[in-house]
Structure 1
Amino acid sequence: MLKEIAKFPKPVWVLIVVSFIRVVAYFTAIPYLAIILGDVFELDAAQIGLLLGGSAAFGILISLVFGNLSDQFGRRKVILLGYVLVILAMAFIGFANHVASIIIGTILLNIGTGIMNAPSQALMTDYVRDDRAQRDLTIQVKYFALNLGVVIGPLVGLQLAAGSQIGFVYLIGVYALMLGYLVSVFHNEAPNSGLLNPDNQATNLWHAFQVVKSDHIFLYFVFLLILISTAFAQLEVTLILDISATFASVDTGFDRPQQIYAYLMSLAGLTVVIAQLPLTKLVQNLSMFNRALVGAVVFTFGFGLLAFVKIMPFGYFYNLALAMVVITLGEVVLFPTLNLIQDRIAPEHLKGSYFGVGSLSEFGYAIAPIFGGYILLTFGSEILWVIMSAICGFVALNFWLLKRKSDL
């Protein structure tokens, strides 16, 4: 495997390294934005969810457009534009003294990341599109790098005053350096849709969506991605609000709720780093949808555990840690598999559009804070996590049904 990894083209390594740095930067500050909105701007869980969820929706809609434009005009330009918008977002959030600036910043942040995600994924597969095994391996290696970033980012964030806006000010410089690095490295455009289209036909936005519209299996697959993302995204926003609300009433052994969250995120990332290779080998002989089924079943169990962390016998933090490890084991199997399924379904000349439409799954990240914040505020954390477990169980059942209709 190491020999195959060493054969990756240089641009693929550039994207992997930059993605790693971007995730470290993200988890240094972004997860603590909910704490800032609560402590500094005095918003409740439902208001925080509405603000973060609404801004996320903007980024998702924009990514649909730019996924197709990158097919026609080149991934690089679209990715660089995304970095510019993220830098502006960090400035708005880092120097905000009114909630309106936070709203503008979060909208820009989600538009910027939405712009980057689909073209970045499509660009990686462009460079290795003639070798399916290597293409699958690039997705696995990138996923490993992202989770290594998750190990480091939250711990760095604790040292940079987690829950404070100063972390966002630091990120202005980090993202500016990444932008400069990409500008210096990407001398040549990635293969575009004209090169990838075997019929040499123009691929316009209307045609792309007509093709995707007729692909019923892919559209239902995206619907399931939205559901599973809604559950998983609770870990990025609602979980820290849950921990903050519970912190004063339980014995945690920590000084701040941010510490608990940071250690949980780092534990999750470390679990991926340790478990990814053996679990990948364990499930490699399963079909794609059967792998996804296994991951969703483990999710069902893990989110169910979160509903009982206050009464399980190991102590609040260790109960959370156990649930997080179980969920992460499901993540190790599920998310790389979902990326592979999407890559296999997408026609070569419409990858940007398919990945763009696949970005609709990010609506789960928009729905999650709105839905999760409301349920947490109204019914409590136990009901929230039971509902998330039920959603994962429903998705698992439907992966089994899709397997019967697909050869993946």
Structure 2
Amino acid sequence: MLDAMKRYAPQVRLLLATTFTLTLARAITLPYLVVYLSENFALDVSGIGLIIGGALIVASLLSLYGGYLIDTLRSFTVIIVSTLTFTVAFIGAVISRELGLFFICLVLINLALAVVTIAAKAGFCALLPLEQRGEVFAIKYTLNNVAYAVGPFIGVALVMFDYHWPFLLSALLGLAMCLCYRRWGERSARTQLDDSPQAGFLSVGVQMIRDRRLIYFTLGGALSAVVFGQFTAYLSQYLVVTSNASEAARYISYLVATNAVTVIALQYVIGRRISTRRLIPWLMAGMTLFLVGLLGFSMAQSLLAWCLAMVVFTLGEIIVIPAEYMFIDSIAPEHLRGVYYGAQNLSNLGAALGPVICGFALAHLVPMATFYLLIGAVLLAALFYYLGARTSPRQVEQAVTER
């Protein structure tokens, strides 16, 4: 993977470094965020979930407009402002004594990261030929998982010295990337390829709603995110109900490690082989692996069985995420790449709903029903993916050929 990165232009490597660093900064605060909210604002578990989940939902909705700004303004300007906002928001989170201000800071952190990620995706498509995009998407996702694997350990170590340090280090990392991008970023880069007037945000929104392929794939992505977006949350809920808290914590630690090792080891190897011309077979393969993994969870009676099911489940995740990116790339008009990727980012709404749906199932149905509901979400996601590819197939093929 490192050898492949050396072949890319400096601007591509800078975008990869920027998204990796900001993701690492976000991951550093994850393990302590729940404790921080509990100790500083005296929130119970439901209140903490509402704050964290609500911030993610609001940021996901606002990122749609962030994608529009990427299409309208220079990406250099958007990334500089976003990384600076990311830095200021972490500082604000440290000094805030009001829950409302802390919530706003969380929204800004999630929003800034989402906008930079959208800008990076649009930048990859502008800087790379079609045949190289699958590989760079796989590299980006692998680096994200490295960040989420390493970041929590850094955060836990810093908390031992002072509970402010994780937030301050995250702010410093954001500032460092802001300065680096200001020094080496491409100032003339802009997604829009001509000087024609840019349509207003509402007009663009109407155009997107009329694109049934985008609507179907956004729905498919949201349903997929219900399954893999926050799998640790609903698996923890299930294990606590079916065993006990200490056993659940032990199992989850092994499952998270299994997921991280599988992604880091195989994401690049598999992701670079996903071709634009066979996206639907790849997506259906990913959906099938999700189904097998969920069935494995529902029948697992030992730690080894849980880990084996997690390997299969993670293979589905490895396939689906880059395949989704590439399909959106194949249908997005050149001047609307940012806002199309912003629409894809709405799949985070599904990730936020996953633990809620599973919590309802565990509270009102038999525990096994949790996995049956998730299997239903996978089947619906596969249907929407199929409908998205089937709708106007000539247009999709033409878009792929032109690129």
TM-score, normalization by structure 2: 0.83
Structure 1 residues 290 and 386, CA gap change in structure 2 (3 angstroms): same
Structure 1 residues 160 and 191, CA gap change in structure 2 (3 angstroms): same
SS in 1 for 2:136: helix
Aligned ranges 1:308-327 → 2 under 5 Å: 308=299, 312-315=300-303, 318-327=304-313
The aligned residue for residue 12 of structure 1 is: 12
User: What CA distance in whole angstroms lies between the structure 2 residues aligned with 1:32 and 1:328?
Assistant: 25
The aligned residue for residue 353 of structure 1 is: 339
RMSD across aligned C-alpha pairs, in angstroms? 3.4
Q: Would you say 1:235 and 2:234 are equivalent positions? A: no
Q: Would you say 1:290 and 2:281 are equivalent positions? A: yes
SS in 1 for 2:230: helix
8 Å CA contact 2:91–2:167 kept in 1: the answer is yes
The aligned residue for residue 291 of structure 2 is: 300
8 Å CA contact 2:212–2:388 kept in 1: the answer is no
The aligned residue for residue 218 of structure 1 is: 214
- How many residues are aligned here? 393
For structure 2, the residue ranges without an aligned partner over 5 or more in a row are 398-403
Amino acid corresponding to residue 293 of structure 1 in structure 2: M
User: What CA distance in whole angstroms lies between the structure 2 residues aligned with 1:93 and 1:380?
Assistant: 40
- Give the C-alpha shift of residue 45 in structure 1: 4.3
Identical amino acids, percent of aligned pairs: 23
Q: Write out per-residue CA displacement over residues 65-94 of structure 1, whole angstroms, 9 at most, x where no aligned residue.
A: 121122121112222222223223323444
8 Å CA contact 2:19–2:120 kept in 1: the answer is no
8 Å CA contact 1:48–1:369 kept in 2: the answer is no
Structure 1 residues 178 and 362, CA gap change in structure 2 (3 angstroms): same
SS in 2 for 1:191: coil
Q: Which moved more, 1:358-367 or 1:157-166?
A: 157-166
TM-score, normalization by structure 1: 0.82
8 Å CA contact 1:231–1:391 kept in 2: the answer is yes
SS in 2 for 1:160: helix
The aligned residue for residue 181 of structure 1 is: 180
Structure 1 residues 385 and 106, CA gap change in structure 2 (3 angstroms): farther
The aligned residue for residue 343 of structure 1 is: 329
Q: Write out per-residue CA displacement over residues 103-143 of structure 1, whole angstroms, 9 at most, x where no aligned residue.
A: 23322222322332322221222222xx2112333222222
Q: Would you say 1:139 and 2:123 are equivalent positions? A: no
- Give the C-alpha shift of residue 331 in structure 1: 0.9
User: What CA distance in whole angstroms lies between the structure 1 residues aligned with 2:367 and 2:306?
Assistant: 13
- Give the C-alpha shift of residue 220 in structure 1: 1.1
- Give the C-alpha shift of residue 188 in structure 1: 1.8
User: What CA distance in whole angstroms lies between the structure 2 residues aligned with 1:263 and 1:173?
Assistant: 31
Q: Write out per-residue CA displacement over residues 321-370 of structure 1, whole angstroms, 9 at most, x where no aligned residue.
A: 33432221111111000000010110112212212222222222343454
The aligned residue for residue 268 of structure 1 is: 259
Amino acid corresponding to residue 325 of structure 1 in structure 2: V
8 Å CA contact 1:48–1:373 kept in 2: the answer is no
